[in-house]
Amino acid sequence: MSLYRPQALDRALAFLGEGPAAVVAGGTDVFPALGLRPAPARVLDLSAVEGLRGIARAGDGWRIGAATTWTDVVRADLPPLFDALKQAARQVGSVQIQNTGTVAGNICNASPAADGVPVLIAMEAEVELASHHGTRRMPLCDFITGPRKTDLREGEIVTALHLPHRDGARSAFGKLGSRTYLVISIVSAAVILWTEGRIVSGARVAVGAASPVPMRLPDVEAALVGRALSDLPGAVLANHLAALTPIDDVRATAAYRREAALVMIRRALEGLGQ
Amino acid sequence: MTKIAFTLNGQPAEAGVGGLERLSTTLRRDLGCTDVKIGCDAGDCGACTVLIDGEPVCACITPTAQAEGRRVETLTGLHTGDPVMTRLTRAFERHGAAQCGICTPGMLVSAAALLRAVPAPEEAQVRDALGGVLCRCTGYRKIIDAVLDWQGRDAPEEGRVGGRVRRVDGARKVEGREVFGDDAAPEDAAVLRVIRSPHHHARFRFGDLDAYAKAEGIDLILTAADIPGENAFGIVPGFIDQPVYADGTARFRGEAVAAVVGNAALIAALDLSRFPVTWEEKAEALTPDAARLTGDLHGGRAGNVMCRGFVRKGDAGAALARADVVAEGTCETGFIEHAYIEPEAGFARWVDGRVELTGGTQAPQMNREALMAILGLPESAIRILPTAVGGGFGSKLDISWQPHVALAAMGLKRPVRVLYSRADSMSSTTKRHPARMTVRAGATKDGKLCGFSFEGVFNTGAYASWGPTVANRVPVHAGGPYAHDDYIAKSEAVHTHCVPAGAFRGFGVPQAAIAQEAVFDDLALALGMDRLEFRLLNALDNGIPTTTGQVFDGAVGIKPCLEALLPAWHEGLAKARDFNAKGGVLKKGVGVACGWYGCGNTSLPNPSTIRAGITADGRIVLHQGAMDIGQGANTVIAQIFAEALGVPLEKVELVGPDTDVTPDAGKTSASRQTFVSGNAARLAGLQLRSELLRLTNCQDGIIGFDDGLTVAAEGVTHRVPLEPTEGYALEAVDSYDPPTLPLDENGQGVPYAVYGYTAQMAEVTVDTDLGTVTVDRIHAAHDVGRAINPLLVEGQIHGGVAQGLGLALMEEYIPGRTDNLHDYLIPTIGDVPPITSHIVEVTDPHGPYGAKGLGEHVLIPTAPAILSAIRHASGARISRVPATPDRVLAAIRAAKEG
Ligand SMILES: Cc1cc2nc3c(=O)[nH]c(=O)nc-3n(C[C@H](O)[C@H](O)[C@H](O)COP(=O)(O)OP(=O)(O)OC[C@H]3O[C@@H](n4cnc5c(N)ncnc54)[C@H](O)[C@@H]3O)c2cc1C
Ligand code: FES
Ligand code: FES
């Protein structure tokens, strides 16, 4: 058994190149999934790798380092485009979880109910991946391929997320759960809007925990464009959410999730319209 | 193994890292930080919270490697090194913010991080900061109070009966010194893990266990074949039916089939998926309906009916036929998990031909009896040394961890420890019984009850545990604390292939109250009466026979409880009306419900014995055998004893419930410790007092301490002549057994000497678009006879309310599906609203200084009051708890359509 915790990215990638290893960042998903089973033989710990943490402007967009924690997100000085991400960050588990859990960990864990994912999908994030062979980029919505499934290849890690900048954009996130803290979403919704005057000129809307992978809802987005900020909630109709495929589980029924998703979207819009 | 260096509580520390060690394990096992607690190993409970570079993290899901070069702080270090923490711990004691104390380190460490950054936080900031730490005992309100008041001052405290005194064992809980089940084992102890059935029902066969043990380096494997005595345990005679290790057939998912024992590192690295056992799955029956149609789990229990309970008084059928209004309702509840934050843990060792068990339990003497049969040892060869208990609520009455380590220690002749994982704990220990209940109740036009019938089917799981007790208790209590002339109640406990249901705060009564109180709301509605007025009109009273025909002449306190709620009730109704008049999707409502609870065993002997002594040099020692599981028995029993003896509380030294030196104070269950053990303590105190007076030839006097004991009377101070001896110079042993009478074939008789009473009112807001419910406030009126310690009474009320809120809104255990604390939800600090406690004191002639029990009453009315309020707000009549958002929304729709 060995754990490797390098500071240089190329050494991390070299370690992965030498043979299969489990990757750990904050560990908030890795440990609960492991339970009492023995740990994997080779572990790569990304928490000390330089350059993987923080949010900054990069080119004409934004770069979120893979190992950026939710607390980092909450504390960063960011424009309203990031309000939704901050609201999601504040609702991930608890302060303890936010202090160690990372943005890339949330994505790679690929839970249908991950709170960061609908926001980042709405933000049209691209995932930057690196291995000792080189790097590649792909849209987040293609990177997550199903519940607990991603397109991460052997020897590869996520190094960053890239987001387009949207001038003057505003955003909101809402999460519905059966208790206040430490709760897995029954359903969640993220909305990003940008406007010309008081008229919506662009909208991105995504819903979590109501499909195998959190997904954008183009019908909802289309219904919002051209509307005045003050009358957005009424523009969204149940049939705009037809693409969702929620399931029944211990947290709620599928039918409820569908309805609640609509309410959550409307409420996010209500907040943004004020 | 590489070495990493970091700073631990201000001192340099080193740890070996070989892979994905959890920081919590490193801190506890290698660095002696037993103040870091383990509740789940999954980030769900926060008990393991430490600070890394000043930020709170869960040590159980942090790789040890990540501590390298950083500052790690735990409660003990903060308590000695950080002035904020020193004051905060005192505030925790002052406010009674630590009950069992298992969550306390996580709470304190998280709060200290907040207070360093924000010295005068708002309540919302406190909630956000502590939202990651679960507490099952306190209901969080006292914790919030303590954090907000961290700079406050201690007020002088009066330790007599009725005094609001801090708990006598509080300091060690808030300073991280308390020793719980997993904190006591010697370093060289071997580690045991239990192998459990992954199927609800299966036949199984072991492969070559010896070969497996040899190949893996395991020291010992235990199975049914290794039990020297009876492979059976249970609670009620005639129902001793649960094997320690299943013998060929596993009857529930999580049932123990074997255990492995070896050195710690080896067991930690063991991949149990390779354990040589083959399973043959069998058809399972998970509900009573299904179980009636399948083969019997136990011979002699036809149709899988384990037992039935019955109470009949008057003629319910005739009364219902002549009633002016009749209402009927059916309601269902699920399994409820106790969810104490401390999983089962302890160790055993073999000492001079005896087994000594050290760990958490609610019933040391009952455990010893069970172990005698299993181990085939005489009573004298088993010693139980209970540690502090990190929450019990009924489940730690049954044995769980004990026989495994006892057998292993006997076999290996070396200490063996076990710590249940959260999944072990949740899948194998008892639960609250799921119930399906139908209530019919009638009333006359003037609002008087006229006929009541209750039928309840309880899923008792694969083995009996306390099922018979539940089956007996429910029919007595199912009508609530009301005047019933014509009453019939039937209960039935049915075996299924589920985890055994057993004792949980209230023994089935909370479930019954949900069904009964909803139907009383129906009646009030049908009559156009105010819901509280209806209850007042029908409340039980002195001189009115109970459901079992028992008549009290002065101790029935339900009316005063209801009356205590009246001002808040009318205010709440008005507030809801005004709020709802404004329209909108949010609707407010209020609800009310009552509860009663007989203290102690139902019509069975139920004695407690208390021993106390005075040494030659005048030290006063109380052998306090009533297990303190966080409820405060150590403090309350000592207060009663000190009062009877006539000495200040701080002069009483406690000796714990070690079975070698402390007599049997009975189990901590059925709200009996204050009442029964309290009485025994009072008698022991009085006995010693009369001895002291006799020795000084005084009629009466004041006991003093002046280099030995003195008695002052009529202006003269007498020295008490005490002979120097080995043990005690004076000793008293006294017992109390509450007077009860058997129930006849109609369930008529005197099942309990005392009942406690309660009425609670809930204020809620319902989001009618989402079906979410916010409880805004609970008003809780409790007749406790006499509040021996109001601070602890409030603590019990708050904790019970929080559990009742969980029962109403979010908790349901599903075998195999919610064996963890993120799928099984209990209330967090953000879910428990402010609670207004009304302590009502209708003294009881039997109780010590008039006190009645309290432990279970506290949660009985909470869920029905919340459901009543939801209905008032939104029209939703909930017939299945928990009232999750989807169910509430569906019920709102159904009400609109119906
Ligand atoms: C009590 C608790 C509450 C929680 N509550 C929430 C919640 O409310 N909402 C929510 O969305 N989530 C929640 N989570 C889940 C979790 O905290 C988040 O998903 C978190 O963001 C995971 O980050 P991490 O760094 O801890 O991931 P890790 O556990 O370190 O890793 C998770 C997975 O991602 C992989 N991985 C991590 N980083 C990389 C990388 N850079 N490249 C490639 N692979 C990588 C790991 O190999 C692993 O498979 C909760 C978890 C716990 C324990
Ligand atoms: S959160 Fe670490 S033990 Fe529960
Ligand atoms: S005091 Fe919080 S769990 Fe017991």
B59-76, pLDDT tens digit by residue? 999 999 999 999 999 999
Does pLDDT of B568 surpass 80?
A: yes
Best A2, A97, A181 residue to mutate vs chain B (most B CBs within 10 Å): A181
Mutate to test the interface with B, among A1, A45, A71, A94 (most CBs of B within 10 A): A94
% of chain A beyond a pLDDT of 70: 100
Q: What is the pLDDT of residues A128-159, one digit of tens each?
A: 999 999 999 999 999 999 999 999 999 999 99
- B190-196 and B55-58 beta bridge pairing: unpaired
Residue A41, chain B, CB below 8 Å: the answer is yes
**pLDDT for B296:** 93
Q: B198: pLDDT confidence band, cut at 50, 70 and 90?
A: very high
A248 near B CB under 8 A = no
Q: Write down the pLDDT at residue A194.
A: 97
> For the segment B466-515, what is each residue's pLDDT rounded down to a tens digit?
999 998 999 999 999 999 999 999 999 999 999 999 999 999 999 999 99
Domain membership of residue A128 (yes or no) is: no
Same structural domain, B401 and B484? no
Q: Which residues of B touch A38 (CB under 8 A)?
A: 268-271
Distance CA B365, CA B359 (A): 13
Q: Are strands B190-196 and B256-262 parallel, antiparallel or unpaired?
A: antiparallel
The residue-averaged pLDDT of B193-210 equals: 98
Computed over every residue of chain B, the mean pLDDT equals 96
Which of B886, B892, B893 best probes binding to A when mutated, by most A CB atoms within 10 angstroms? B886
**What's the ipTM?**
0.97
How many whole angstroms from A102 Cα to the centroid of ligand 1? 6
CA gap B60, B846 in Å, rounded: 48
* Residues framing ligand 2 (Cβ under 6 A): B 38-41, 43-48, 58, 60
Asked whether A25 and A47 are in contact (CB, 8 A), the reply is: yes
Q: What is this structure's pTM? A: 0.97
Read off the pLDDT of residues B639-677 as tens digits, 9 standing for 90 and up. 999 999 999 999 999 999 999 999 888 877 767 888 889
Q: How many domains does chain A have?
A: 1
Atom of ligand 1 nearest to the CA of A24: 30
Domain that holds residue A226: 170-273
Q: Are B683 and B676 in contact (CB under 8 A)?
A: no
Q: Is residue B705 domain-shared with residue B835, that is, in the same domain?
A: no
Look at residue B216 and tell me whether its pLDDT is greater than 90.
yes
Say if CB B77 and CB B10 are below 8 A apart: yes
Residue A50 lies in a domain: no
pLDDT (mean) for A101-118: 98
Domain assignment present for A76: no
Break chain B down into helix, strand, coil percent, rounded to 5: 35, 25, 45
Whether A24 is in a domain gets the answer no
Residue B475: inside a domain = yes
B575 and B654: one domain?
Answer: no
CB of A171 within 8 Å of any CB in chain B?
no
The last residue of one of the domains, among B736, B753, B777, is: B736
**Distance from Cα B103 to the centre of ligand 3, integer Å:** 5
Please indicate if any CB of chain B lies within 8 Å of the CB of A270. no
Q: Which ligand lies nearest the alpha carbon of A30?
A: 1
For residue A93, report the distance from its CA to the centre of ligand 2, in Å: 13
Residue A11 pLDDT > 70, yes or no?
yes
* Residue A52 belongs to some domain of the structure: no
Residue A238 maps to a domain: yes
SS3 assignment, position B455? strand
Q: Whose CA is nearest to atom 43 of ligand 1?
A: A157
CATH number at residue A192: 3.30.390.50
d(CA B890, CA B876): 8
pLDDT at residue B316 above 80? yes
CB A205 within 8 Å of CB A221: yes
Taking the Cβ of residue B42 and every Cβ of chain A, the question of whether any pair is shorter than 8 Å is answered with: yes
Q: Is A186 on the interface with B (CB under 8 A)?
A: yes
Domain count, chain B: 4
Residue B670: predicted pLDDT: 65
Tell whether B304 is covered by a domain.
Answer: no
> Do B107 and B62 have their domain in common?
yes
Say yes or no to pLDDT of B577 above 80.
Answer: yes
Task: Write phi, then psi, for A201 (nearest 5 degrees).
Answer: -105, -15
Sheet of strand A215-216: strand arrangement:
A170-176, A187-196, A199-208, A215-216
Q: Give A196 to chain B, closest Cα distance, Å.
A: 31
Tell me, in angstroms, the distance from the centre of ligand 2 to residue B24's CA: 9
Calculate helix-pair angle for B862-874, B885-897, nearest 10 degrees. Answer: 50
For residue B854, the model assigns a pLDDT of 82
B330 falls within a domain: no
* Residue at B150 is within a domain: yes
B132 touches chain A (CB under 8 A): yes
Confidence check: pLDDT of B614 > 80: yes
The pLDDT tens digits for B788-834 are 999 999 999 999 999 999 999 999 999 999 999 999 999 999 999 99
How much distance in Å is there from the Cα of B832 to the middle of ligand 3? 14
> Hey, what are B370's tokens?
């069970």
Mean pLDDT of A16-39: 94
B362-402 pLDDT, tens digit each:
999 999 999 999 999 999 999 999 999 999 999 999 999 99
Q: Does A34 touch chain B (CB under 8 A)?
A: yes
> Which CATH number fits the domain that encloses residue B277?
3.30.365.10
For residue B385, the model assigns a pLDDT of 97
- Whether B614 maps to a domain, the answer reads yes
Atom of ligand 2 nearest to the CA of B48: 2
The residues, any chain, with a CB within 8 Å of residue B730's CB and separated by 6 or more, are B613, B614, B688, B691, B692, B722
User: Interhelix angle for B104-117 vs B123-130, to 10°?
Assistant: 130
Chain B residues with CB-CB distance to A27 below 8 A = 20, 61-63, 66
Has residue B658 been placed in a domain? yes
- Mutate which of A29, A86, A96, A181 to disrupt the B interface (most B C-beta within 10 Å)? A96
B98 lines ligand 3 (CB under 6 A): yes
Task: Tell me if A83 is assigned to some domain.
Answer: no
B158 lies in some domain? yes
Q: Distance from the CA of B116 to the center of ligand 1, in angstroms?
A: 28
Contact predicate B430/B394, CB 8 Å: yes
B101 close to ligand 3 (CB < 6 Angstrom): yes
Question: What pLDDT sits at residue A82?
Answer: 98
Q: Show which of B164, B198, B220 is a domain's final residue.
A: B164
Average of per-residue pLDDT across A104-109: 98
> Does B766 share its domain with B687?
no
Of the candidates B734, B854, B728, B831, which has an alpha carbon nearest to the alpha carbon of residue B777?
A: B831
Percent share of chain A, pLDDT over 90: 96
Q: Which domain holds residue B413?
A: 190-284+344-419
* C-alpha closest to that of A28 among B113, B822, B131, B270: B822
d(CA B755, CA B315): 25
Q: Note whether B623 and B516 are same-domain residues.
A: no
Q: Is B573 in the A-facing interface, judged by CB distances under 8 Å?
A: no
Please indicate if any CB of chain A lies within 8 Å of the CB of B810: yes
Chain B partners within 8 Å of A260 (Cβ) = 770, 885
Chain A contacts of B16, Cβ < 8 Å?
A: none
- Residue identifier of the C-alpha nearest atom 50 of ligand 1: A93
pLDDT digits (tens, 9 = 90+) for B235-245: 999 999 999 99
Taking the CA of residue A23 as reference, the ligand 1 atom at the shortest distance is: 47
Closest to B876 (Cα-Cα) out of B582, B513, B574, B587: B587
B153 plus B45 within the same structural domain: yes
Please indicate, yes or no, whether residues B36 and B129 belong to a single structural domain of this protein.
Answer: yes
Least-confidence region, from B160-164, B483-487, B626-630: B626-630
- Last residue of one domain, picked from the residues B712, B736, B760: B736
Decide if B20 and A2 are in contact by the 8 Å CB cutoff: no
User: Is residue B314 included in any domain, yes or no?
Assistant: no
Q: How far is B385 from chain A (nearest CA, A)?
A: 28
Domain shared by B84 and B14, yes or no: yes
Q: Output the CA A29–ligand 1 centroid distance in Å.
A: 4
A101: left (phi over 0), alpha (psi -120 to 50) or beta: beta
CB-based contacts of B562, cutoff 8 Å, min separation 6: B532, B535, B536, B539, B592, B594, B759, B781
**What part of A 6-25 touches B (C-beta under 8 Å)?**
22, 24
Confirm whether A242 is domain-assigned.
yes
Least CB–CB distance from B831: residue in A36, A179, A184: A179
Ligand 1 atom nearest residue A175's Cα:
8
Mutate to test the pocket of ligand 2, among B33, B48, B107, B425 (most ligand atoms within 8 A of CB): B48
**Looking at the structure, do residues B801 and B732 belong to the same domain, yes or no?**
no
